[in-house]
Amino acid sequence: MQFISHSVEQTQLFAEQFASTLVGGEVLLLDGDMGAGKTHFVKGLALGLGISDVITSPTFALHNAYQGKLQLNHFDFYRIDDPAEAEMLGLDEFFYQKNGVCAVEWWQNVADLIPKNVAIKISITKLSETSRQISVEKAQQ
């Protein structure tokens, strides 16, 4: 599935609608350069899951959790150099919870910890200052 967004609002609306397809246990692998709109996508997911909290990037905290219809676990592994760091903190355990959804920014830094059978890759490509191409596909095994 592909979508062209022409604004932050359209990106969030797409993610909000996408959230209605989630049943729990999914791990969303967010791909995109810095500033592509990964956190805006997560804000839309939160709305779709009935979460009204302010969503911020967990760049320094590594993990933020929000409760809605499903628990939204938002990770940012930009600062992780070794997957063992995330594993020692127990963060990989969230990937196996059936009552939540994980949205993982910079997932490549912990790729070995990701359960591939439930992973969905969401690529956000910057086309212009305001436009983004959003691609959603089952992650490769």
Q: pLDDT for 75-112, tens place per residue?
A: 999 999 899 999 999 999 999 999 999 999 999 999 99
State the chain's mean pLDDT as an integer. Answer: 94
pTM for this structure? Answer: 0.94
Average pLDDT for 123-141:
91
Sheet holding 71-76, edge to edge: 2-5, 132-138, 119-126, 27-31, 100-105, 71-76, 63-67
Question: What's the pLDDT score for residue 7?
Answer: 96
Number of domains in the chain: 1
Rounded Cα–Cα distance for residues 65 and 67 (Å): 7
The CATH number for 50's domain is 3.40.50.300
The pLDDT tens digits of the residues spanning 17-29 come to: 999 999 999 999 9
* Domain of residue 69, residue span: 2-138
Higher pLDDT among residues 64 and 141, named by residue: 64
